[in-house]
Amino acid sequence: MKKFLELISEEMGKAFEAAGYQAELGKVTISNRPDLCEYQCNGAMAGAKQYHKAPLMIAKEVAEKLQGNEVFSEVSAVAPGFLNLKVTEKFVKDYLQEMRADAKFGLDMPQRPQMIIVDYGGPNIAKPLHVGHLRPAIIGESIKRICRFAGHKVLGDIHLGDWGLQMGLIATELKKRHPELPYFDESYQGEYPKEAPFTISELEEIYPLASAKSKEDDAYKAEAMEATYKLQTGVPGMRALWNHIMNVSVTDLKRNYDDLKVEFDLWKGESDVQDIIPDMVAKMKKDGFAHESEGALVVDVKEETDTKEMPPCMILKSDGAALYNTTDLATIMDRMEQYQPDKLIYVTDKRQNLYFEQIFRCARKTGLVKPETQLIHIGFGTMNSTGGKPFKTREGGVMRLENLIREINEEMYRKITENREMEEGEARETSRIVALSAVKYGDLSNQASKDYIFDIDRFTSFEGDTGPYILYTIVRIKSILKKYGEQSGENSVPAKMVLQEAAGESEKGLMLEIAKFNAMMEAAYEEVAPHKICAYIYDLANAFNHFYHETKILTEEDSEKQAGWIALLTLTRDVLEVCIDLLGFSSPERM
């Protein structure tokens, strides 16, 4: 379905043509003087030079051609040559009618769906999720949903950090505590126990302790490195222990991500590609891309046009060990083989910008991807506390994600139960739903690359540019629709309702906001920009509330008019619900 502005631009283009000018001049934009008009066209100004004519003259000629036009209810040529425009109520209504009949509200589906992999989350095994894991989870999840809604085949991959020194550290500490466990006995031939020798809380206690010890005690560190090496070379006891660590950790991670409504399709990790690293490295050497530099193996990724420093991409350290880079490159190779993606999107902290540029260049240069494969890094900014500093607990440590979420849930519960009577179970559930909207909207309403301040007070407010405000608006619509259903029974099936032409300013304003959906979605997808959805629904919610405050919907006596409003409300609700789902949250029935 064509975009609203596209349609009116075409109509304007025809008028330019009819007046003897180039159709391209008819580009229409949203008015920057909403007090005067809804849309404007500056084509007459642009054409003045080319046609050696005063812009106002051109504008007047074009306006003349649009008298009695079905799309425009008002066209005025004003000095120095603007065309100020309003569209007819009928045109808007017809557009919305068409939107309503389309499952994607007018967003065109691609001719050939792409295969897209979104790499996000990236937690490390055995370390609890902390606030630093919030942004990649929220942003990545939304990007995944946007790509999917845009009609593509999408896989979200968590890309676990499951192969590093942390595994050796845990093994070392565990051995100190329980040297009798069979995992540490290299002559052991029997079956290893099914049950893990630790719980998640023990694991979370062991890891930071072992990590701290290794920093102070060289022998301890050497032991941990030895254990890591044993794991990586496949010593059975270490593998068995690793499986336990994975199972216990992943179960806990799933629970945490579930609470955030973050769902990964693939739970792959760094460990999954270790076996293919030797082949990849051998090929890079054979093809002449990888060469030795100060003992390490590197691929040069500098280009002539670079204005900034571009260090080579390291493939193997001087001791022959693989590193973060190596694993990411091998993962690209694996993904290309397994899923043939057209596009890979990575969501990480923007401090990894240079890193991903090196990786992408290296992958292209060495032929791991096709020339047309799109490699995109979405680098996000830092989430700061209200003091402007990175987020810390009261004690100064890194705050656990679970605790942060619990704090917001509590705050929301307090607000909700203060506002209205609600049974305990529902109040808790509603608080969780609304709190999630507060956190996610608070994050996603900023352009991802920007730093932002995580301000619980502001984010949980029911007023202003917040998640709870959006949900409040949806709940308000749901409640009107429910009451309408109760009072009119049989006739209340929304599909039977027919949209009417807007009877007033605020109603038309709402309709015009809704009509921006497909253009907004296209931009959100193409620019990988969830914040565009937030901006859209904020405007839409404002337009709806403005209309709501001016209109007595439930007591309207003209039943056709009333049904038209109900149809409009239903569409508003549906569009808002689709949008919040793309942001990764949902709405409660009441709040």
Of 80-88, 116-124, 292-300, 556-564, the segment contacting ligand ARG by CB under 6 A is 116-124
Strands 343-349 and 374-380: parallel
Position among 84, 124, 249, 500 found at the interface with ligand ARG (CB under 6 A): 124
Nearer to ligand ARG, 100 or 159 (CB): 159
Adjacent-strand bridge partners of 390: 384
Min dist CB 132 to ligand ARG, Å, is: 8
Min dist CB 350 to ligand ARG, Å, is: 12
User: How far apart, in whole angstroms, are the C-alpha atoms of residue 245 and residue 224?
Assistant: 15
Any idea of the CA torsion for 564, 565, 571, 576, to the nearest 10 degrees? 170
Q: Is 335 helix (H, G, I), strand (E, B) or coil?
A: helix
User: How far apart, in whole angstroms, are the C-alpha atoms of residue 508 and residue 88?
Assistant: 10
Of 118-126, 196-204, 250-258, 527-535, the segment contacting ligand ARG by CB under 6 A is 118-126
Min dist CB 237 to ligand ARG, Å, is: 25
Position among 55, 122, 168, 584 found at the interface with ligand ARG (CB under 6 A): 122
Nearer to ligand ARG, 124 or 445 (CB): 124
Strands 153-157 and 343-349: unpaired
Of 75-83, 119-127, 386-394, 505-513, the segment contacting ligand ARG by CB under 6 A is 119-127
Residues 271-310: x where in contact with ligand ARG by CB under 6 A, - otherwise, as a string: ----------------------------------------
- Contact between 128 and ligand ARG (CB under 6 A)? no
User: How far apart, in whole angstroms, are the C-alpha atoms of residue 451 and residue 442?
Assistant: 12
Nearer to ligand ARG, 348 or 445 (CB): 348
Q: Are 426 and 587 in contact (CB under 8 A)?
A: no
Nearer to ligand ARG, 184 or 267 (CB): 267
Q: Which of 79, 101, 82, 98 is nearest to 90 (CA)?
A: 98
Q: Could you identify the residue written with the tokens 């949203």?
A: 30
User: How far apart, in whole angstroms, are the C-alpha atoms of residue 52 and residue 325?
Assistant: 60
Q: What angle do CA 294, 298, 301 make, to 5 degrees?
A: 125
Residue 377: DSSP 8-state: E
Q: Is 140 helix (H, G, I), strand (E, B) or coil?
A: helix
- Contact between 161 and ligand ARG (CB under 6 A)? yes
Q: Which residues contact 536 (CB under 8 A, 6 or more apart)?
A: 513, 516, 517, 520, 579
User: How far apart, in whole angstroms, are the C-alpha atoms of residue 164 and residue 169?
Assistant: 9
Q: Which of residues 13-32 bind ligand ARG (CB under 6 A)?
A: none
Minimal CB distance residue for ligand ARG: 122
Give the number of residues in contact with ligand ARG, rule: CB under 6 A: 8
- Contact between 159 and ligand ARG (CB under 6 A)? yes
Min dist CB 164 to ligand ARG, Å, is: 9
Min dist CB 467 to ligand ARG, Å, is: 26
Q: Which of residues 315-334 bind ligand ARG (CB under 6 A)?
A: 328
Position among 119, 141, 252, 465 found at the interface with ligand ARG (CB under 6 A): 119
Min dist CB 161 to ligand ARG, Å, is: 3
Position among 91, 149, 183, 346 found at the interface with ligand ARG (CB under 6 A): 346
Adjacent-strand bridge partners of 74: 86
Total residues found in the chain within this entry: 591
| Helix, strand, coil percent content, the chain, rounded in steps of 5 | 55, 10, 35
Residues at the site binding ligand ARG, with contacts judged by CB under 6 A: 119, 122, 124, 159, 161, 328, 346, 348
